[in-house]
Amino acid sequence: MKTDDLITLMAQDAPTGLRYGRALALALGVGIAVSVVLLVATVGIRHNMASVFETARVLFKIAVTFMLAVLAARLAVRIGRPGAETRGPALLLAVPALMVAAAVAAELFVLPADAWPASLVGRNALFCVFFVPVLSLAPLAGLFWALKKGAPENPTFAGATAGLAAGAIAVAVYAWHCPDDSPLFLATWYTIAIAVVTVAGALAGRRWLRW
Amino acid sequence: MTQSAREEEWANWLRLAIKGDAQAYSRFLFAVTPYLRAMARRRCSLYGAPLSEAEDVVQEVLLAIHLKRGTWDPARPLGPWLTTLVRNKLIDSLRRRGRQKNVPIDDVSDFLEAADETNEAADRIDTETMLARLKEPQRDIVRSISIEGEGIRETAARLKMTEVAVRVALHRALKSLAALYRSE
C-alpha cells in the first residue's frame, strides 16, 4: 500500500472517539463504584465503624490504604501516555510503604511480644487474601480497558502498575469492612493480596497491552 | 523553520484533527512522514533490517500515531509525546524485522531535526495483498477511499450504508492493518 494512500485513509478517520484521559477517568470511576457496591452488598461495612473510626489503628489503616490507592492510580494514569513523567509518581509510592514500616515498628514497640502472633494472624486473614482480589476485579478490568487505548512503553510493567492500582483500590475499599486493625496485619495480608493482583496484572499486561 | 515553530505548527494541526478536521490531519501526517522515513532508513541498517522494509516501518509508525493520538493531551507540548511514541514503535518494528535484536535503545530526540526525505520508496507489500487480508465491508471502504479517492459520504451512498457505519468500519480497518503489520 502506498504511504500517501494510507494517509488519505487515516485523514478520513480524523475525529477521535473516547480520548485516553476520559477513558481512564471513566474506568476508575466505574471500577471503584462497582467495588464499593460489591463490598456493601455482600459483607457490608464493619458494624461498629462509627465507634472505632477515631482509634489510631483504624484511622491509620483507612488513611494509608487511601493514600496508596490514590498514588498508584496516579501512576497508572501516566503509564499509558508516551512521554509522561512516571519516575516521580513511582518514587512517591515509597511514602505509604515507609509509613506502614514505621507503623509496624511502633506496633512491635507498643505490643508485648506474646501478643504479636495474634495481631499478625488477625481474625480474617484468609478471607482478606481472597476478597481483596475479588474487589479488585472491576477496577482492574476498567484499567485494562482504558490502557488498551494507551501506548505503554513496557506492557508487562503497565499491567503490573494497573494491578497495583486495582489492588490498592481494593484494599482501600476492604479496609472499611476489615475487623483487623494491627499494622502487622496490614503489612502482611494486605501486601500479599496486593501482590497477587499486581502479578496477575503483569501477566495479563504482557499478553494484552501490546500495541 | 525552527524546530519549535515546526512543533507548534504540527501541534495546531493535530489539535484541529482531533476535533475532526480531516484537512489539518492530512497536513500533519504528510509533514511528519518525511522525518519518519529518514529515521526508518537510517536505522534499518543499524538493526540489520532490509532497507526495502523501511517504508513498511514508516507505515507502521504512522498507524501507531493514528491509533494512539488520543493519548496526547492537547494542553501539553507535542514534542515529547511524539518522540516517545515514534521511538517505541520504530524500535519495536525494526527489532521484529532485523537480525540485530539487541541494539541499545538510542535516543531519537533528534526526530524533529532529522533530515527531510521526501522521495517515497517502493512499498514492499502491495495494496492488493494488504486488502486481501481485510474483511468486507472494510476492504471495499479502504479501496474506495484510498485508491479511488472517494469521501466518506460517497462511499456510504455507493455501499448503501450510513456514514456512521462507514466511519466505524474504516476505523476498524485501520486497526486491522496495524494488527497485520504486528503479526507479520
Structure ipTM:
0.84
Q: Mark residue A81 as left, alpha or beta (left: phi above 0; alpha: psi -120 to 50; beta: remaining).
A: beta
Question: Domain boundary residue among B87, B113, B139?
Answer: B113
User: Radius of gyration over alpha carbons of chain B, in Å?
Assistant: 17
Q: Block means of pLDDT (10 residues each) for chain B, length 184 residues?
A: 84 92 94 90 84 88 94 91 91 81 57 56 66 86 85 89 90 90 79
pLDDT of residue A18: 83
Task: Check: CB of residue A90 under 8 Å from CB of residue A58.
Answer: no
pLDDT of residue B112: 56
B149 and B105 in one domain? no
The verdict on residue B122 lying in a domain is: no
Which residues span the domain enclosing B170? Answer: 127-183
B22 and B81 in one domain? yes
Instruction: Report A:67-126 residues touching B (Cβ under 8 A).
Output: 80-83
Contact of A150 with chain B, judged by CB distance below 8 Å, is answered with: yes
The verdict on residue B107 lying in a domain is: yes
Average per-residue pLDDT in chain A?
Answer: 93
Contact of A25 with chain B, judged by CB distance below 8 Å, is answered with: no
pLDDT of residue B14: 94
B31 and B105 in one domain? yes
pLDDT of residue A74: 95
> What is the torsional sign of CA B98, B34, B67, B127?
negative
Residues of A in Cβ contact (< 8 Å) with B169: none
pLDDT over 90 (residue A139): yes
Q: Return the residue of A nearest to B167 by Cα.
A: A13
Contact of A151 with chain B, judged by CB distance below 8 Å, is answered with: yes
Report residue A174's pLDDT band, with 50, 70 and 90 as the boundaries.
very high
pLDDT over 70 (residue A7): yes
pLDDT of residue A81: 94
B133 and B79 in one domain? no
CATH label of the domain that carries residue B44: 1.10.1740
B131 and B109 in one domain? no
B162: exposed, middle or buried (Cβ count in 10 Å: 0-12, 13-18, 19+): exposed
The verdict on residue B37 lying in a domain is: yes
The total domain count for chain B is 2
Count of CB atoms within 10 A of residue A149's CB?
22
CATH label of the domain that carries residue B131: 1.10.10.10
B28 and B70 in one domain? yes
B160 and B82 in one domain? no
**pLDDT tens sequence across A73-91:** 999 999 999 999 999 999 9
pLDDT of residue B115: 56
B57 and B9 in one domain? yes
pLDDT over 80 (residue A10): yes
Residue position matching grid coordinates 505503554: A152
